[in-house]
Amino acid sequence: MHDSPMNAKALEFNAEETLRRAGLQKTAQRLAVLDLLARTAEPLTAADIFQRLPEEQRVNRVTVYRILSSYTRKGIIREFESKKGIHHYEWAQPLVPPHPHFNCRTCGTMICMTAFLSPCPWEQVVNRPDFIIENISISGLCGLCRQQNE
């Protein structure tokens, strides 16, 4: 049987090893943020992360932003904006290449479209091989918002 990307994610993740390889000092907060991102299937906002951190690892928002920006710089996580300009973050799992995200224009729900995981030459899709693609976004209405709209 073939492992789904999510299974591979769960199997291969080691927060301490990831920090060590990135040359980042190990702190309880850094580990907690990374652990949370690696365990969550959908991208999270800084506010989501802040709320979901375990009580004992809860730090101020500034620290959360600082951790997220160092992770983005090191390529450990990917950052992208929603239609409404809200920043989302996801673990840049090596086996999961960049993929499109569905973004609900009403509630902001962000969903990974991992069906597009087979290595897709997005630069060729855009027809600009010299470009670097950082975000592929598809927007619309989620099921819940669609019901409320009808």
Chain contacts with Zn ion (rule: CB under 5 A): 90, 104, 106-107, 109, 112, 142, 145
Nearer to Zn ion (CB atom), residue 50 or residue 116? 116
Instruction: Tell me how long the chain is.
Output: 150
Nearer to Zn ion (CB atom), residue 12 or residue 59? 12
8 Å CB contact between 114 and 99: yes
* Shortest Å distance, C-beta 25 to Zn ion: 27
CA distance 30 to 132: 28
* Shortest Å distance, C-beta 14 to Zn ion: 20
* Shortest Å distance, C-beta 26 to Zn ion: 26
8 Å CB contact between 13 and 31: no
Nearer to Zn ion (CB atom), residue 59 or residue 117? 117
CA distance 141 to 150: 12
